Amino acid sequence: MDYIDNLNIDASAKANIKHWLEGSYDEETKQAIRLMMDDPAELNESFYRSLEFGTGGLRGIMGVGTNRMNKYTVAMATQGLANYVKKCFPKASPIKAAISHDSRNHSREFAEITAHVLAANGFKVYLFDSMRPTPELSFAVRQLGCQTGVMLTASHNPKEYNGYKAYWDDGCQLVAPHDSNVIDEVMRIQRLEDVKMAGGESNIEMIGEAVDNLFLDRIEKNSLHPELIRKHHDLKIVYTPLHGTGITLIPKMLEKLGFSNVNVVKEQAVPDGNFPTTPSPNPEEKAAMKMAVDLAREIDADIVFASDPDADRVGVAVKRPDGEWMLLNGNQTFSVLAYYLLKEWKVGGRLAGNEYIVKTIVTSELPADIAKRAGVKVYDVLTGFKFIGDKIRQCEGSERFIMGGEESYGYMIGDFVRDKDAVAACSMIAEIAAWAREQGKTFFDVLVDLYREYGFYKEGLLSVVRKGKSGAEEIQQMMKDYRENPPAEIDGSRVVCLKDYKLKTSTDLLTGKSEPIDLPASNVLQFFTEAGEKVTVRPSGTEPKIKYYFGVKGDLCCKDCFDKTNAMLDEKIESIKKSMNLI
């Protein structure tokens, strides 16, 4: 091993490499390490640390090494999870877990390893027989009475990545204190010899179609107007799963509801972890939506959907009056969903006075305004869908959840799933399109109606990168300055409210009165102006940048003024950036 000592890499990387070469790792892995010796930079990156199990689980580049997603890092993380779950549920006999995976390279292998480690630890394991969406995994945890669950996915990350998301017994991703406690247990697993890998094979049960049917049946109950779907069953829908898991359930769900004209983008219907037809499997990006929009133009479709690889997020494109297609952002889709659900719940006499919706603090205020006017409570939570799931748990038994959403294309309708759900979201969006057609309108017209009634809300995002140690210090200083010397005005409008999520206080700057914010502490600041604008400032938790979220509002007098008003609001956001010296 002397040749390793002579490599120009970190001491920690050398120690980890020696351990892997000397330990009980398979020969294929050891040979891959030897081949990496010609690339010290890559070798160092792969071994200089252990891949961190964060509050949402693991996520990283696939490959050999302690800092990579591979069968060994997955096995060790699973052992740590198993150790913690056993401490929390000592009376459960047996402890149960559900496991699913997406279409990414090695996802099935990682799912099977996860299943075998949990089974070897005495868990009863329900393993899906093939890839399934993230929301179905969340549903299965609850439906099968599991204490935990694992989804192997890296969401919309590039093809080189994979990930591991851990769930608790309510079907929600881990929240405090479980998230940090699991991290502590995972950190204690330092050697492969600490992992139970075999001996529990009989504890593994394959699941599939039966759970699919229960999940789809429950989504069907979300429908408010099945008669309109039957009447407008021939609505032209274009859908792309972007080579992911959505293909397993979304077309089936639309067909179950009664839609008979669903056109799947064939080139992107084949599950493929290399995502060969798109530079990124992210429905937020125009390039990912291109093939679906091209097909929509070709067949003169009514609406377009795209789900990401694990089918928890959905992108939407709608046809404008001029025949061109417009991509909706996450705030717009969330707002239309809230508009329809709350309007039809009210018309249908479903509102009893104890209903609520949930949104994240960086999401548009439009869904909140819609809910307040309908007499429905609104809860704000920190960024991250797990906090929406946690709020449902807090309110269970006393209040009725209608929906939740976030600006980054995630929506949840009903509480039978506790994570983002593209299957349910696509189903409801299609119903809204049918509802619009019944009125002689399009989905775009519904958005216009919404803006005319509540105001035209527009959001923007700016990320300011500051690299290295000095950059991190600069970001912290920027937050300190904003906190100690908040702007008195933004773009000529007086700042009337300051929300400091680190200090957990909301202050009316006109009266000086402060109220507590009942959320976990987080280094986030929000400024609200007299003109109704909102600016949110927060450091990124994973990248060397500070993020600014902007929200502005204007009046929309008619459909013909949409483009003019939209451009005016874009200019307003740019003016705010200039007033804050950000551009």
Q: Please write the tens of the pLDDT for every residue from 331-345.
A: 999 999 999 999 999
299 with 354, same domain? Answer: no
The parent domain of residue 530 ranges over 456-579
Question: What is the per-residue pLDDT for 542?
Answer: 62
Last residue of a domain, one of 273, 300, 327: 327
**What's the mean pLDDT when you consider all of the chain?**
95
Q: Do residues 107 and 157 lie in contact, with contact meaning Cβ atoms separated by under 8 Å?
A: no
Q: CB count, 10 Å around CB of 204?
A: 18
* Domain annotation covers residue 212: no
H/E stretch holding 42 reads helix 40-47
Res 2: pLDDT: 63
Provide the number of structural domains found in the chain.
5
Sheet of 400-406: strands edge to edge?
A: 377-381, 355-360, 400-406, 410-413
According to the model, what pLDDT value does residue 55 have? Answer: 73
Question: 454, 469, 488 — which closes off a domain?
Answer: 454
pLDDT of residue 4: 80
Alpha carbons 155 and 210: distance in angstroms, whole number: 25
Residue at which a domain ends, from 156, 180, 207: 207
* Residue 61 domain flag: no
Considering the domain boundaries, does residue 440 fall inside one? yes
In this prediction, residue 72 carries a pLDDT of: 96
Average pLDDT, stretch 135-156? 97
Q: Give the confidence band of 508 by pLDDT, cuts at 50, 70, 90.
A: very high
Provide the sign of the torsion angle of the four alpha carbons 432, 437, 438, 443, taken in this order.
Answer: positive
Residues 132 and 261 in one domain: no
User: Does the global pTM surpass 0.75?
Assistant: yes
* 472 and 429 part of one domain: no
Q: Is residue 215 situated within a structural domain?
A: no
Statement to judge: residues 103 and 147 lie in one domain: yes
- CATH, residue 478: 3.30.310
Looking at the structure, do residues 502 and 531 belong to the same domain, yes or no? Answer: yes
Q: Quick check: is 93 in a domain?
A: yes
- Environment class of 398 (CB within 10 Å of its CB; exposed 0-12, middle 13-18, buried 19+): exposed
Top pLDDT among 413 and 465 is at 413
- Looking at 130-203, which runs of residues are DSSP E strands? 148-152, 161-167
Helix 250-257 to helix 209-220 angle, to the nearest 10 degrees?
Answer: 50
Q: Are residues 396 and 447 in the same domain?
A: yes
The pLDDT, as a whole number, for residue 234 is 98
Residues 463 and 445 in one domain: no
Residue 286 maps to which CATH number? Answer: 3.40.120.10
Tell me the residue type at 437: R
Mean pLDDT computed over 186-192: 91
pLDDT (tens digit, 9 = 90+) per residue, 423-470?
Answer: 999 999 999 999 999 999 999 999 999 999 999 999 999 999 888 778
138 is catalytic: no
Does the pLDDT value for residue 583 go beyond 90?
no
Residue 417: inside a domain, yes or no? yes
Based on the fold, state whether residues 441 and 473 are members of the same structural domain. no
Q: What per-residue confidence (pLDDT) applies to 201?
A: 95
Identify residue 111 by its one-letter amino acid code: A
What pLDDT is recorded for position 6? 74
* 290 assigned to some structural domain: yes
Percent of the chain with pLDDT over 90: 89
In our burial notation (b when 16+ CB lie closer than 10 A, e otherwise), range 484-521 reads eeeeeebbeeebbebbbbeeeebbebeeeeeeebebee
Is the four-CA dihedral 403, 406, 412, 415 of positive or negative sign?
negative
Q: Based on the fold, state whether residues 74 and 198 are members of the same structural domain.
A: yes
* CA quadruple 330, 170, 242, 462: dihedral sign: positive
Q: Verify that 467 and 527 share a domain, yes or no.
A: yes
**Shared domain check, 467 and 449:** no
Catalytic residue among 50, 103, 107, 155: 155
pLDDT digits over 19-67, tens only?
Answer: 999 988 999 999 999 999 888 899 999 999 989 888 778 999 999 999 9
- What is the model's pLDDT at position 28? 95
Residue 218 lies in a domain: no
102/45 same-domain check: no
